[in-house]
Amino acid sequence: MPTTYTINFNNNSNSDSTYAFFVKSPELSPTPGSYFSNVWISQFVPNGATFDISTTDQFYAWTGTSPETIAPGVKVKGGDGKPANLATVSENGSDYPMTTESGAAFFKADLEDGKKAGSFAIQTDGSFQNGQNYLVGLGQLDLNNDQIVPVATAPAQPGFGYTFTPVVKYYVAETVEALGTVVEIDAGNLEPGTIDFTNGPGQGRTTANVTVDHFNHFAVTYQ
């Protein structure tokens, strides 16, 4: 059974604002030429108010399209997301064949042939060409709105195999970008807070309490 994680967010910044949450982009092999983070959840939070997120460590293989060449500021939405079982030392993980038809990208049945422990795989076919704005990546369920959102995306190449190794780690930042929008987390003045359930004080915990102050500093504690 997937583990459920809760993020309790408190806005003590002295101003009403919109905050975006991100999932750490998985290690991707082979390393693509372009690889992007997308907004997972976007929420307006008045000063003094709270906002809670419930999620799990059930990850999703995702494929879809971009309305234009993918780059910061481009909004990606829709697509096809399938539950991804991560491989272990004794069992194969998910391995989804990706294909396209009539401008849409989608997955065929899971081959269950992913080999790398802690990972899942996506295999693209030859039904499309480079530069047609097809994407592959990681999806994450937004339980608040019951939808699978693309949270890490890369341009798909035809006839290619990808291995994704996700972790239960998140970021939060003050930004008005909508869910699915490509954002450079480490660029500019975004200064995100980090919520990490895989290492440090968050390891083995399932609840994070996040408070932003009037200096836009994010304090994170775990329980």
Is the preceding omega at residue 30 within 30 degrees of 0, hence cis?
A: yes
User: Among candidates 194, 174, 144, which has minimal Cα distance to 11?
Assistant: 174
Give residue 188's pLDDT band: very low, low, confident or very high (50, 70, 90).
low
Structure tokens at 15: 């101003």
Average pLDDT, the chain: 95
Domain count, the chain: 1
145-162 mean pLDDT: 94
pTM here is: 0.95
Q: What would the pLDDT profile of 33-71 be if each residue is shown by its tens digit?
A: 899 999 999 999 999 999 999 999 999 999 999 999 999
Strands (E) in 57-212, as ranges, are 59-65, 80-84, 95-101, 104-107, 120-124, 134-142, 147-155, 161-165, 169-174, 182-183, 193-196, 207-212
Tell me the pLDDT tens digit for each residue of 198-208: 999 999 999 99
The per-residue pLDDT for 187 is: 67
pLDDT for 81 beyond 70: yes
Q: How far is CA 168 from CA 121, 126, 157, in A?
A: 18, 33, 27
Domain that holds residue 120: 4-222
Q: How far is CA 77 from the centre of its chain?
A: 12
